[in-house]
Chains A and B, each alone.
Chain A
Amino acid sequence: MIAILDYGSGNLRSAERAFATSGREVIVTSDRAVALQAQGLVVPGVGAFAACMNGLNQIDGAAIIRERIANERPVLGICIGMQILFSRGTEHSENGIHAGVGVWDAEVSKLNAPILPHMGWNTIDTDSGSILFKGVEDQSFYFVHSFAAKSAVGKMQSWSTHGEKFLASVEDGYVSATQFHPEKSGDAGLALIKNWTQSL
């Protein structure tokens, strides 16, 4: 069973349906026990880093994520759900730096690009050993974000470019994350989701 963590973040209906195409049972939940027990936990997220962390903290989400990783239970972060796995995020300068879950010790910062958000389909430079991108290495994926991590973390990374090079995904043992939205990336995204669920 796949659990999609519900902490008040955006459109979960299409994420639920997209993960269900893998053939797995999918449940949208904010329940700690369910989120801990699921074979795979998806951490979605849209909007702002600080707002997502606030929502996550209200359901004790950071602890759920850390406990799963400590217990070798797979986690997949998507978009802001990837960003909040980092140790810190910079947003509007007046708000300063926000603490993240801290799985990876690096910063999420604004992309240096003339047009933001980075919105649309972009190609990705993948690691040849990638599990997530198996069979869809050459495909485009759908991004919507203005902030990103720009330094390598975890065992395997993939990269994309908008104004500057940034982390498109991380595969790091039991925890994976994509800056793009696989649930909005058509057949390529569904294939990536299936690659992840089959790895569980």
Chain B
Amino acid sequence: MTLSVRIIPCLDVTDGRVVKGVNFTNLVDAGDPVEMASLYGLEGADELTFLDISASVVGRETTLDVVRRTAEQVFIPLTVGGGIRSVDDVDRLLRAGADKVSINTAAIGRPELIAEIADRFGSQVLVLSVDARRARTESGFEVTTHGGREGTEMDALAWVEKACALGVGEILLNSMDADGTRAGYDIGMITAVRAVSKVPLIASGGAGTLSDFAAALDAGADALLAASVFHFGIHRIGDVKSYLDSHNYPVRTLAGK
């Protein structure tokens, strides 16, 4: 009886469509989110993540509809992030069928939002998404906003410790330096965040080769999130799991496969 590592495809969604581009610019349309979510579920994804990058109210309503339709046909956990600013936003997403929400910018501006959400719905629904980059803060890792375009001068490790104390149930650590490059996860960053947190840690940003996934696990990640390598078919989820399984990492395999 061993907890499996989780392989989590992330779908960046705007106006009801999936997009993903290198370093969050030059977005390329990669399909219908509900269809892709369903496909990933069949391929053995352990969870799904939607990141809503819509800028408009209409876009966010569309995302709620995408969440609803996904939750009706894909019976694995679904996390939704992007633009969540209040307890009411969380309530709407959970009612639409999300199991977890991830918060980022709003919590930086108002950390007590973490405690408000955790008190109302429990820590297990709340993922802290940290967009971090290497910079001259105390630990060498800085929290950024706006998809990595703006620094905050906040130390990433100090932020993680504070957020854990306020009640986040999980951390999604996204390296903005590595994001979209497929040059490997930022191993040093994962190691550093693991050392200061006792909640599950999802590594994100930079997955390229199959050995990159294993390296992130060795650094202390509990789950691995990736977008472009899956969307553009560079690796199938099954390939990642077979590789990890053959290297003795615990993975969930589907019956009959």
Knowing A142-B76, A189-B75 are in contact, say whether A136-B255 is a contact too (CB < 8 A). Answer: yes
Closest chain A CB from B89 CB (angstroms): 15
> Are B72 and A122 closer than 8 Å at their CB atoms?
no
Whether B95 pairs with A121 at a CB distance below 8 angstroms is: no
Could you tell me the distance in whole angstroms from the C-beta of B104 to the nearest C-beta in chain A?
Answer: 19
Q: A119 contacts which chain B residues (CB < 8 A)?
A: 124, 169-170, 200, 222
Q: Are A162 and B3 in contact (CB under 8 A)?
A: yes
B62 / chain A contacts, CB cutoff of 8 Å: none
Chain A, 1-59, CB within 8 A of any chain B CB: 10-11, 13-14, 17-18, 21, 46-48, 51
- CB contacts (< 8 Å) of B148 on chain A: these are none
Stretch at the interface among A66-74, A102-110, A149-157, A179-187: A179-187
Which residues of A, 89-136, contact B by the 8 Å Cβ criterion?
114-125, 136
Q: Does A198 contact B (CB under 8 A)?
A: no
Determine whether the beta carbon of B200 is less than 8 Å from that of A117: yes
Given A11-B99, A115-B222, A120-B222, A188 and B255 touching (CB < 8 A)?
Answer: yes
Residue pairs across A and B with Cβ atoms less than 8 A apart, 19 shown, are: A11-B95, A11-B98, A14-B72, A17-B71, A115-B199, A117-B124, A117-B200, A120-B223, A122-B3, A122-B4, A123-B2, A138-B255, A140-B4, A143-B3, A144-B77, A145-B124, A146-B123, A188-B255, A190-B75
B residues contacting A by CB (< 8 A) are 1-6, 41, 46, 68, 71-73, 75-78, 94-99, 121-125, 169-170, 198-200, 222-223, 252, 254-255
Given A11-B98, A115-B222, output 6 extra A-B contacts at Cβ < 8 Å. A14-B71, A117-B123, A120-B3, A121-B46, A144-B99, A184-B99
Residue numbers of A with Cβ under 8 A of B are 10-11, 13-14, 17-18, 21, 46-48, 51, 114-125, 136, 138-140, 142-146, 159-162, 181, 183-190
The 10 closest A-B pairs by CB, nearest first: A47-B122, A161-B1, A13-B97, A121-B252, A140-B252, A121-B4, A14-B71, A144-B124, A119-B200, A122-B3
